[in-house]
């Protein structure tokens, strides 16, 4: 893959970094609220500025704090992003003017020896324009006055950014190895962010004992141990709907569900120490309803004392309560030690292949005849249903159309039998299967 220029947005909390990020990428990717400290993890998106593709990075607000605290861990993550930047957009609030914290972090940025462009946000009105001039004392040259919320000065900012980009690399041939879109979902504190960090080989996500640290759905590309490309999205923990009361948490939940809908494969992280909870099953059913392939990662495996009992309990709960994803693959892992990760990627790939499966028509017809012979369609209103043929209409997930006289009256129990028989015959464990019923009209019904 061609390395894109990295544009990093940095500044103290609540100066409009995420609003500017959304404005530059042309979409509401980052959560925005009046509460300071909404952004905790780095968020990246590709956009086009001045005819060049660039990678824009949103970061957590800069604060002075001890390294082992949450603000301290957030600052370390921002420092890593700045170290990798081709251009840093140092943003401050023009309404408030330049504060001592802005001057402090301006000095910190100078020591980083990176190219810096100062952005005076919230500069609408005379007061904002006047306060933006204070940025000259930071020593980074002329500031760019904008209002990200009202889309003022954004064109000038994009022009300034384009002029500061490094030389364009030679155009590479189109890479056929397109990344597999993978979402990590689960309850809060199930080890999702720790797993993403292990995939990337760096502390990309803020982790810790506090539940609910992740707020945004954060994506990143990496090459797996199988040599394949993956685009993985870490999501905010999904709690029971009755417990989601804060506006910010509701936005985080919506962001997680949207990430799930955009994914091809889903890794459902389940805390091995707590076992399979009702909320885990609820999330799995949500994945199935969205038609996504799924693998369950039993996390924190290194901390479990009785592993045999823990795995069997998880398998029993899943087989009883998750019949619509019968045979779903469960992989015990530890993102702290790396144990089991080598088995996770083959499981992801195998399930992905089944999700893309197209059954040959001849094999499908043979299966259909056998399934009807084994258990003929039941009587409905005293008359037997006549099911004539079945055809696959699409993959991702495997979807079939079943035709016959009064086929739309097939009972749910018989439909489940056909789905389970399909799953068993063509080896599609953990993959959603859709069967759409198509009745044929009787031309003499109204005669």
Task: State the Cα–Cα distance between residues 200 and 137, nearest whole angstrom.
Answer: 39
The model's pLDDT over 359-405, given as tens digits with 9 standing for 90+, comes to: 999 999 999 999 999 999 988 888 888 999 999 999 999 999 999 98
pLDDT at res. 32: 45
| Pick from 25-29, 58-62, 292-296, 411-415: least confident | 25-29
Q: Does the structure show a pLDDT above 50 at 31? A: no
**Over residues 26-54, mean pLDDT:** 68
Q: Using the predicted structure, report yes or no on whether residue 124 has a pLDDT greater than 60.
A: yes
Any idea which residue has 């309990």 for tokens? 313
Does 440 have pLDDT greater than 80?
no
Q: What percent of the chain has pLDDT over 90?
A: 50
Q: Are 206 and 42 in contact (CB under 8 A)?
A: no
**pLDDT tens digits, one per residue of 252-270:** 667 678 878 889 999 999 9
Whole-structure pTM value:
0.71
What are the domain boundaries of the chain?
6-164, 180-355, 361-440
Considering the chain, what percentage of its residues have pLDDT values greater than 70? 85
Residue that wins the pLDDT comparison between 244 and 229: 229
Highest mean pLDDT among 67-71, 115-119, 135-139: 115-119
Give yes or no on whether 6-164 and 180-355 have one common fold: yes
Instruction: Give the confidence band of 314 by pLDDT, cuts at 50, 70, 90.
Output: very high
**Which residue has better confidence, 76 or 87?**
87
- Over residues 14-29, the mean pLDDT reads 84
CATH number assigned to the domain covering 180-355: 3.40.50.300
pLDDT in tens, 226-241: 888 998 888 876 766 5
Exposed e or buried b for every residue in 380-394, given b needs 16+ CB within 10 A? eeeeebebeebebee
Three-state SS sequence of the chain:
CCCCCEEEEECCCCCCHHHHHHHHHCCCCCCCCCCCCCCCCCEEEEEEECCEEEEEEECCCCCCCCCCCHHHHHHHHHHHHHHCCCEEEEEEECCCCCCHHHHHHHHHHHHHCCCEEEEEECCCCHHHHHHHHHHHHHCCCCCEECECCCCECHHHHHHHHHHHCCCCCCCCCCCCCCCEEEEEEECCCCCHHHHHHHHHCCCCCCCCCCCCCCCCCEEEEEECCCCCEEEEEECCCCCCHHHCCCHHHHHHHHHHHHHHHHCCEEEEEEECCCCCCHHHHHHHHHHHHCCCEEEEEEECHHHCCCHHHHHHHHHHHHHHHCHHHCCCCEEECCCCCCCCHHHHHHHHHHHHHHHCCCCCHHHHHHHHHHHHHHCCCCEECCEECEEEEEEEEECCCCEEEEEEECHHHCCHHHHHHHHHHHHHHCCCCCCCCEEEEEEECCCCCCC
Least confident among 50-64, 77-91, 290-304: 50-64
Q: Give the pLDDT confidence score for residue 445 in this predicted structure.
A: 55
Give residue 427's pLDDT.
92
Asked if the peptide bond before residue 261 counts as cis, ω within 30 degrees of 0, the response is no
In words, the CATH class of domain 6-164 is: alpha beta
Instruction: For the domain covering 361-440, report its CATH number.
Output: 3.30.300.20
Distance between CA atoms of 43 and 45, rounded to whole angstroms? 7
Range with the poorest average pLDDT among 24-28, 92-96, 355-359:
24-28
């Amino acid at each position: 893959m061609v390395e894109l220029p990295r544009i990093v947005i940095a500044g103290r909390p609540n100066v409009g970094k995420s609003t500017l990020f959304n404005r530059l990428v042309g979409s509401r990717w980052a959560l925005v609220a009046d509460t300071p400290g909404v952004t905790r993890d780095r968020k990246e998106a590709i956009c086009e500025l001045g005819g060049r593709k660039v990678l824009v990075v949103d970061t957590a607000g800069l604060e002075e704090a001890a390294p082992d605290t949450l603000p301290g861990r957030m600052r370390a993550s921002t420092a890593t992003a700045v170290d990798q930047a081709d251009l840093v957009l140092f943003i401050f609030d023009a309404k408030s003017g330049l504060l001592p914290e802005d001057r402090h972090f301006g000095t910190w940025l100078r020591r980083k020896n990176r190219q810096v462009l100062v952005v005076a946000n919230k500069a609408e009105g005379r007061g904002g324009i006047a306060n933006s001039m204070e940025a000259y004392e930071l020593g980074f040259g002329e500031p760019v006055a904008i209002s990200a919320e009202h889309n003022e000065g954004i064109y000038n900012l994009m022009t300034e950014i384009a002029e500061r980009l490094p030389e364009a690399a030679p155009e590479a041939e189109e890479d056929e190895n397109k990344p597999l879109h993978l979402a990590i979902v689960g309850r809060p504190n199930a080890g999702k962010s720790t797993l993403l960090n292990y995939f990337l080989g760096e502390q990309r996500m803020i982790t810790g004992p506090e539940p609910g640290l992740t707020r945004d759905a954060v994506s990143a590309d990496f090459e797996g141990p199988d040599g394949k490309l993956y685009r993985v999205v870490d999501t905010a923990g999904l709690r029971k709907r009755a417990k989601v009361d804060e506006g910010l948490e509701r936005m985080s939940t919506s962001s997680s569900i949207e990430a799930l809908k955009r994914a091809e494969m889903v890794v459902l992280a389940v805390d091995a120490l707590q076992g399979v909870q009702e909320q885990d099953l609820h999330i799995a059913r949500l994945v199935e309803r969205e038609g996504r392939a799924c693998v369950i990662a039993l996390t924190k495996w290194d901390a479990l004392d009785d592993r045999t009992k823990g795995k069997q309990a998880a398998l029993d709960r899943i087989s009883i309560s998750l019949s619509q994803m019968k045979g779903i693959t469960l992989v015990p892992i530890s993102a702290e030690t790396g144990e089991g990760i080598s088995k996770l990627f083959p499981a992801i790939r195998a399930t992905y292949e089944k999700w893309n499966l197209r059954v040959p028509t001849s094999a499908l017809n043979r299966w259909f005849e056998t399934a009807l012979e084994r258990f003929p369609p039941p009587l409905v209103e005293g008359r037997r249903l006549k099911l004539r043929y079945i055809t696959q209409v699409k993959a991702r997930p495997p979807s079939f159309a079943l035709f016959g006289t009064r086929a739309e009256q097939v009972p749910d129990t018989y439909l489940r039998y056909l789905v389970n028989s399909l799953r068993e015959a063509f080896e599609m464990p953990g993959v959603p299967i859709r069967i759409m019923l198509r009745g044929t009209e009787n031309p003499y019904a109204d005669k």
